[in-house]
Chain A
């Protein structure tokens, strides 16, 4: 390990560590195929990173959202290369089928009100770009030069079965915890996004009346936004 650390630190970034020699040799054996799959990988990596750049740099938020599709697809392809087809399928189904659709919804909705801005702490593009370069440089150096532990021959395991067994044995508690997270989150989302029913509005109104009866002007109860700017609660929500 110490030897690899010393050797690794002298390697130029991007070069695979010492343990990979066997596989490099093997790839030369299967000359045409090995090269082809590698070139395909570079194309897919370019798609992934290029689309991510589109997400980050595009002026138009809708283009960003569509670029995200390329990143998600490219990442799914990465998982295929890493012998993780199950993760790749999940990525396509959930990320592209679910998350991306949600994000597109959000983009379409907010595009009508132009921007849902958040105020504090956004950087100008130039310092941001410097940060980007520093961050990419640092992480690239760490990723490329650290002598990561590597198995001699990465194996293909029976993915779906191993994962299923894992979820019901070793990872049972996280699996159950994730289900609680999903339940609570979905209920929470519905609670804050739904319109209130007439009955609830009536309850709210009667409570507001109670408040008024307690010797306080109703408008003053919320000192901030509503009394000053907004319509009464029940009209809009």
Chain B
């Protein structure tokens, strides 16, 4: 016991960002009571920003050499650090959207920021969880608080219904995942991912031998059930089929700034868990590549899920007229593209997931920012409200076009870089299955071009609907739009920094 306590104490230093965030949650709860009156909105946003800045500073000084912390409950490595930066950026961007949003009333802004920090903490923990117990706890932290944040708009019954659906689907998904974890524990006697890896390998070897002798069906089935059930909880966070049903309703009902956050943060956190779960538990590095150590064909399972997810997302998106719903289905489709990288089960595949998530942050948050601007200024979330936007708010319209083209994956934008790496990872693997999956992905990208272009057409070619006066855009929003466009162009042309960072993060996963 003393040794365990000593290890806990020794881990504190490497845990600074999370400690800052926890303290920030408490601080914002208190500041919410202190700041009153007119300047409240700005002051609370500043406080939130300061917490993020402190967390970023703490993250910058925290080492990221691979080692286990808190008795293996969490790990410190490059992958976790990569995702933590991603989450911080998402939270900062969200705050930028919230600051002028009227959907989060001034009275409840403090609570919103504090709870957002709690979700951020949960996502950080998801990214570094080294034990399925921590995976479950941090996933629940993200989920439980997100349920409430989705229902934050009290004046709108859609928000309450969205919240209810979210809680129901979330509860089912985490329950199923938990049942899967119980089988993992029963099979291997541990839930520590680092220990699970060798045990799964040994177990699979025995299953393989026993199978050749004509037995071990139940043991094999137990592992398959466990993996599939764990995937349920993770897939729910990613919004991948068949755990995507909550996505459109929640995206539509939740306050737009939180929808923006939801479409990037928890999805990325789900992928962080999936990369670590499969990377540490089910693969090992051999001869410069990765091999699946388990008798479970998880790359094939993930690949099939990827194909179904993107096809369903894109096909359904074709018929949507509400922009938030359309972007929800587009976000499901993107979960499918990202799953392709996981299905490739190679270093490049894992890397491409990281790169795509980083790019996705800018383009999707940017797209939702435009939706937030339009909802606040014209009151419309429908595509008809975007008619003639290029004449009413040229800069916003151009920015939205850039984001949509990047979401499609057109060069020279960063979305193309991400997709290029995803497809490259598949083709590098070479088998006919992988080529088939890549073809499905390419067809899907073509389909998605259609509904993205429909929006662009409405903005550029169609005349403004009704009173089409110019739309005023706050300066913060203008800066965010410009910054996102710049990032997308930059990473589209010079993607080696992102590639290098993702390579370091991925290699860290397979070194320890």
Using CB atoms and an 8 Å cutoff, list the residues of chain A in contact with chain B. Answer: 1-2, 5-6, 8-10, 116, 118, 120-121, 138-139, 141-142, 144-149, 165, 168-174, 177-178, 180-181, 183-185, 187-189, 191-192, 196, 199-200, 203-204, 207, 210-211, 214-217, 220-227, 229-230, 232-234, 237
Chain B 99-110 interface 0/1 with A at a Cβ cutoff of 8 Å (1 = within):
000100111100
Q: A9 to chain B: which residues have CB within 8 Å? A: 210, 215-219
With a cutoff of 8 Å between Cβ atoms, the chain A residues found around residue B286 in the complex are none
| Residues of the B chain whose Cβ atoms lie less than 8 Å from the Cβ of A217 | 379
- Specify which of A1, A116, A177, A216 is in contact with B138 (CB 8 Å cutoff): A177
Residue B221 at the chain A interface, CB threshold 8 Å: yes
In the complex, A1→B205 CA distance in Å? 11
The answer on a CB contact under 8 Å between A216 and B73 is no
Q: B8, B141, B375: which contacts A181 (Cβ < 8 A)?
A: B141
The digit string for B140-182, where 1 denotes a CB below 8 A from any CB of A, is 1100110111011011111001011100100000000000000
Chain B contacts with A in 53-78, Cβ cutoff 8 A: 69-71, 73-74
CB B168 to nearest CB in A, in angstroms, measures 6
A70 to chain B, nearest CB (A): 19
Give min CB distance, B344 to chain A, whole Å: 30
Q: Once A and B bind, how many residue pairs between them come within 8 Å at the CB atom?
A: 201
A5 to B381, CA, bound (A): 58
Residue pair A196, B107 in contact (C-beta under 8 Å): yes
Chain B: number of interface residues, binned into ranges: 35 or more
Whether the Cβ atoms of B158 and A225 lie closer than 8 Å is: yes
Which partner residue on chain B sits nearest A220 by CB separation? B379
Q: What residues of chain B have their CB less than 8 Å away from a CB belonging to chain A?
A: 1, 4-5, 8, 11, 22, 25, 29, 69-71, 73-74, 102, 105-108, 111, 114-115, 118, 121-122, 125, 131, 133-134, 137-138, 140-141, 144-145, 147-149, 151-152, 154-158, 161, 163-165, 168, 183, 186-187, 189, 203, 206-207, 209-210, 213-219, 221-222, 225, 245, 249, 252, 375-382, 385, 469, 472
Contact B29 A216 (CB under 8 A): no
Dominant secondary structure at the B interface: helix
List the B side residues contacting A172 at CB < 8 Å.
4-5, 8, 70-71
Whose C-beta in chain A lies nearest to the C-beta of B137? Answer: A177
Query: Could you pull out 24 A-B pairs where Cβ atoms are within 8 angstroms?
Result: A6-B214, A118-B165, A120-B249, A141-B221, A142-B218, A146-B221, A149-B187, A168-B5, A170-B4, A171-B133, A173-B69, A174-B73, A177-B134, A177-B137, A181-B122, A200-B105, A211-B102, A214-B472, A220-B378, A220-B379, A220-B380, A223-B375, A224-B381, A230-B157
**A195 to B, closest residue via Cβ:** B154
> How many Å from the CB of B10 to the closest CB on chain A?
12
Given known pairs A173-B73, A177-B125, A199-B107, the reply for A188 and B145 (CB within 8 Å) is yes
> In the complex, are the beta carbons of B380 and A200 less than 8 A apart?
no
Contact assessment for B381 and A223 in the assembled complex, using a CB-CB cutoff below 8 Å: yes
Given contacts A2-B216, A185-B144, A233-B155, 16 further A-B contacts (CB under 8 A): A1-B206, A8-B218, A139-B225, A142-B221, A142-B225, A145-B218, A171-B73, A174-B131, A180-B141, A184-B25, A184-B115, A191-B115, A199-B107, A203-B106, A221-B379, A230-B155
Cα distance A10–B144 in the bound complex, in angstroms: 44
Closest residue of chain A to B379 (Cβ to Cβ) is A220
Closest B residue to A121 using CB positions? B245
Top 5 nearest A-B pairs (CB, nearest first) are: A233-B155, A188-B148, A220-B379, A145-B218, A200-B107
Q: CB within 8 A of B222: which of A2, A146, A224?
A: A146
Residue of B nearest to A234 (CB): B155
- Known contacts A139-B225, A225-B157; decide if A5 and B219 are in contact (CB<8 Å): yes
Expressed in whole angstroms, the minimum distance between the Cβ of A205 and any Cβ of chain B is 10
**Distance in Å: Cβ of B40 to nearest Cβ of chain A:** 9
- Chain B residues with Cβ below 8 Å from A170 are 4, 71
Is the Cβ of B164 less than 8 Å from the Cβ of A118? yes
Q: CA A207 – CA B376 in complex, angstroms? A: 12
What residue in chain B is nearest A10 (Cβ atoms)? B215
Q: A177-B134, A187-B115, A207-B102 in contact; A169/B144 too (CB < 8 A)?
A: no
Contact, CB under 8 Å: B25 / A180: yes
With both beta carbons as reference points, the residue of chain B lying nearest to A1 in the complex is identified as B206
Pick the most buried of B131, B186, B209, B218: most chain A CB atoms within 10 A of its CB.
B218
Q: Which chain A residues lie closer than 8 Å to B216 at the CB level? A: 2, 5-6, 8-9
Q: Are B107 and A203 in contact (CB under 8 A)?
A: yes
Q: Is B141 touching A6 in the complex (CB atoms < 8 A)?
A: no
Give chain A nearest CB distance to B153 CB in angstroms: 8
| Pair A184/B144 contact, Cβ less than 8 Å | yes
- How far, in Å, is A88 (CB) from chain B's closest CB? 18
Do A189 and B148 have beta carbons less than 8 Å apart?
Answer: yes
- Interface pair A216/B106, CB less than 8 Å apart: no
